[in-house]
Amino acid sequence: MAGVEDDAYVRVDGQWLHSRMKLEIVFMAPYERGWLKVGPPDAKDG
């Protein structure tokens, strides 16, 4: 799996804590077959 992680943090009593975690998956392949045998993701119209 490959993706972009977008996190936000807040400082609480001197410690940095996650306030939000977001993952946008860009590409995923089954473990058994591996990413090489899956091929590239479909192109999106932009």
Instruction: Kindly report the pTM of this predicted structure.
Output: 0.48
**DSSP at 44:** P
Residue burial 6-21, b: 16+ Cβ < 10 Å; e: rest: eeeeeeeeeeeeeeee
> What whole-number distance in Å separates Cα of residue 8 and Cα of residue 35?
30
| Whether residue 46 has pLDDT greater than 50 | no
Residue pair 29/40 in contact (Cβ under 8 Å)? The answer is: no
Residue pair 18/7 in contact (Cβ under 8 Å)? The answer is: yes
The domain locations on the chain are 1-27
pLDDT in tens, 3-30: 999 999 999 999 999 999 999 988 888 8
